[in-house]
Amino acid sequence: MRKPEKHLLVIFGASGDLTYRKLVPSVFDLFTQNLLPDEFGILGLGRTELSNAAFREKMSEGIEKFAMTKPHNRAHLEQFLDKLFYYAFSTKEESEYLPLKLELEKLNQQLKTENNYIFYLATPPSMYPIVPAHLAKHGLNNEDDGFKRLIVEKPFGYDLESAQSLNKSLLHGFREEQIYRIDHYLGKETVQNLLVTRFSNGIFEPLWNRNFIHHVEITSSEDIGVGSRGGYYEGSGALRDMVQNHLLLLASLVAMEPPALINADSMRNEIVKVLQSLRPIQKEEVEKFVLRGQYTSSEIKGKRRKAYREEEGVNPKSRTETFLAMKFYIDNWRWAGVPFYIRTGKQLPTRVTEIVIHFNATPHHLFAGDKAIMRQQNQLVIRIQPDEGILMKFGMKVPGAGFHVQDVNMDFHYSELNNTYLPSAYERLLLDCMLGDATLYSRGDAVEAAWRFVDPILKAWKEQPCIKVHGYPAGTWGPEESDQLIEGVETWRYPCKNLSGDGEYCEL
């Protein structure tokens, strides 16, 4: 495995949760696997005054709790912590960027990182245009003496206009090749496996089109509410939080043409083509194609679950959607006429993300059973999480007299692979950026294309408050009305934690 060049990772917003839970633990995982260069360091920047020692202590706590690889011993951990530094910094203050530049130069000399920097924006989104502009003003975008890369966290914009304006401001100081927009779904091993399943198996590709696929269903459910993130979620909702980025990306990977090569340009060219082929949902059609819901209070196993409107930081009259079900089409040769269904929500019965490819029924039904039953027998379930794996459902003869058909499962679970380490999404993505590989990062035009599709829905909700927000009791599969969206096809699949346990009792 190629190691990245020597460099310094500079995290803006280092006193926040993301650094503590994801970023530093993931870099530690890279360190444990010997995937970091010897000349490497992390400089955390945050408003809180912290000494290097206090920062290291806090990060060591994060590592113990959240790293995939636990420290072998204190010496191993200390060796990593020695690479961590902290500098109190107010991101907004222009006057602080010159002293920051000097601090970077000092550290760069001390660690011999040869002017290679990765700047990670883990700040509130309002800072995204500001930091790169100031960095550029001080020449910290200039790659003459070493690489300068910029990682931008989600949310990437709030709507099409803000995403376009953010892209514009980033591109003012940095080139597209220097910008790494994170969508952590692409960092998931099982999401990447979707590409391998499709493009390394001769058996699937010939069937992967409108002639053989009846519809595609993507579910991403969570069994928790918004918790302490009510303030952020109020201004976001499921459409912005999950659909515009993660779920449209999953749909793109299902639908894309084989790229010429697995590299940043080829892959992202194909993804953007899918996003540009999404049939627009006009404002007047929103009620027909999109259904939104919000969880209400309920009691499960004797325990009361809060309504969304009772969550901290949420307006008691909020109309923010915590559930969304949507039907859409991709207008291109491969997918013409094939409906795609997406469903996502908080406070649903279980945490599951999966893609279900429903194949067409056989043209003539020799054996008992109606069309809907025949169709159910031909599903390919790609499980992103948990119980990661793949399940193929098909019909088999029930032994004995007559010809009775029964559904059986052929399944593969990642857990069956011995000694296989599944890296976390952030670990994979951080390593890729360190290596200068943007294949698994979103390109500006793709982000804008996704917003272009989502924008009329947001506008319709804003302009037509009469479009209903359906209530659903916390712990259920969302508003009953979502069944109407998929009616005529059959019903949604109701997945369990356990990939092959569908149709069985599902633990709430």
- Active-site residue set: 246
| DSSP conformation letters of 147-191 | -EEEEEPSP--SSHHHHHHHHHHHHHHS-GGGEEE--GGGGSHHH
CB of 154 to ligand BG6, least distance (A): 6
Omega prior to 155 cis, within 30 of 0 = yes
What DSSP state is assigned to residue 11? E
What DSSP state is assigned to residue 493? -
Closest CA to 325 of 465, 499, 481: 481
Which residue number, 241 or 427, has a Cβ lying nearer to ligand BG6? Answer: 241
Residues between 231 and 260 with contacts to ligand BG6, criterion CB under 6 A: 241
Cβ–Cβ under 8 Å, residues 210 and 334: yes
The sheet with strand 379-385 has its strands ordered as: 405-413, 389-397, 379-385, 352-359, 213-221, 340-345, 323-328, 290-296, 469-473
Which residue number, 81 or 194, has a Cβ lying nearer to ligand BG6? Answer: 194
Of 344, 347, 353, 376, which lies in the binding site for ligand BG6, with binding defined by CB under 6 A?
Answer: 353
Closest CA to 118 of 145, 141, 84, 144: 141
Tell me the helix, strand and coil percentages in the chain, rounded to 5. Answer: 40, 20, 40
Closest CA to 446 of 219, 276, 237: 276
Which residue number, 154 or 428, has a Cβ lying nearer to ligand BG6? Answer: 154
Residue 30 three-state SS: helix
Q: Does 153 bind ligand BG6 (CB under 6 A)?
A: no
Closest CA to 381 of 495, 497, 507, 220: 495
Closest CA to 198 of 249, 258, 247: 258
CB of 60 to ligand BG6, least distance (A): 24
Of 153, 222, 387, 388, which lies in the binding site for ligand BG6, with binding defined by CB under 6 A?
Answer: 222
Identity (one letter) of the amino acid at 432?
Answer: D
Cβ–Cβ under 8 Å, residues 252 and 246: no
Compute the C-alpha angle 11/12/13, nearest 5°.
110
Which residue number, 223 or 481, has a Cβ lying nearer to ligand BG6? Answer: 223
Residues between 419 and 448 with contacts to ligand BG6, criterion CB under 6 A: none
Q: Supply the angle between the helices 74-81 and 24-32 in degrees, to the nearest 10.
A: 120
Cβ–Cβ under 8 Å, residues 178 and 135: no
CB of 198 to ligand BG6, least distance (A): 21
Residue 268 three-state SS: helix
CB of 186 to ligand BG6, least distance (A): 11
CB of 197 to ligand BG6, least distance (A): 19
CB of 354 to ligand BG6, least distance (A): 11
Gap between the terminal Cα atoms of the chain: 42
Residue 31 burial (C-beta neighbours within 10 Å; 0-12, 13-18, 19+):
buried
Nearest residue (beta carbon) to ligand BG6: 241
CB of 412 to ligand BG6, least distance (A): 21
List, in sequence order, every beta strand (DSSP E) within 159-278: 179-181, 213-221
- Beta bridge partners, 44, equal 11, 86
CB of 75 to ligand BG6, least distance (A): 32
CB of 175 to ligand BG6, least distance (A): 26
Instruction: Count residues near ligand BG6 (CB under 6 A).
Output: 4
Which residue number, 42 or 191, has a Cβ lying nearer to ligand BG6? Answer: 191
Which residue number, 154 or 268, has a Cβ lying nearer to ligand BG6? Answer: 154
Residue 501 burial (C-beta neighbours within 10 Å; 0-12, 13-18, 19+):
middle
Residues that bind ligand BG6 (CB under 6 A): 154, 222, 241, 353
